[in-house]
Amino acid sequence: IEQMCAKRQRPNLLITGTPGVGKTTFCEALASRSGLQHVEVSKLVREKRLYREWDDELDCSIFDEEMVQDALEPLLERGGCLLDFHSSSFLDENDFDLVIVLRADTSVLYDRLEKRHYPESKIKQNVEAEIFQSCLDEAQEAFEETTVSIWELQHDTEEHMEDALERAQPSPQHANCLHCS
């Protein structure tokens, strides 16, 4: 882990999980506590039009892996990024020091997505993805556990978020690194 840290002055973290598990909420809180830069990839995709295709059924863009990789490269090289995205298969494990997969209970997730006014089909698709732990599987395939730690953390309640934030706090021994102790 120390060796991985030496690649960058400040660590890069990936926060992943099904839409609605609370990635953005968690990242905003951790960014303000840690000084790491919150990089909301879905916003970047929208604003910089990092897509070539549109999914008519779900009415959303299909991001272009190469375009997103190119946009993220300078940020990840610099370090200190808190990357917020549901997908991880196209990322390079050497660019990250810690991966956190947030999880939510099925009914909790359903309610959150309903509040977001997602169409029924999109709610169903995301709830199924959470049940089948698609994002966790994707992260475990993309990142060798010997190279980078993967933490699976429950994120149903404020208490869960507080626990997760505490775990991800920088240690006094290595103030620039969030995972060393």
Q: Which spans of this chain sit near Mn ion (rule: CB under 5 A)?
A: 5, 23-24, 174, 177, 180
> Does residue 150 come out as left (phi exceeding 0), alpha (psi in the -120 to 50 range) or beta?
beta
**Residue 170 interacting with ligand ADP (CB under 6 A):** no
Cα(88)–Cα(110) distance, integer angstroms? 23
b/e string for 37-70 if b means 16 or more Cβ within 10 A? bbbbbbebbeeeebbeeeeeeeeebebbeebbee
Query: Residue 158 binds what, of ligand ADP, Mn ion, none (CB under 5 to 8 Å, by partner type)?
Result: ligand ADP
**Residue 106 interacting with ligand ADP (CB under 6 A):** no
Residue 8 CB, nearest approach to Mn ion (Å): 10
**Residue 103 interacting with ligand ADP (CB under 6 A):** no
One residue of 8, 103, 122, 160 binding ligand ADP per CB under 6 A: 160
Residue nearest to ligand ADP (CB): 22
What are the structure tokens assigned to 46, written together?
């929208």
Residue with Cβ nearer ligand ADP (10 or 160): 160
Residue 78 CB, nearest approach to ligand ADP (Å): 23
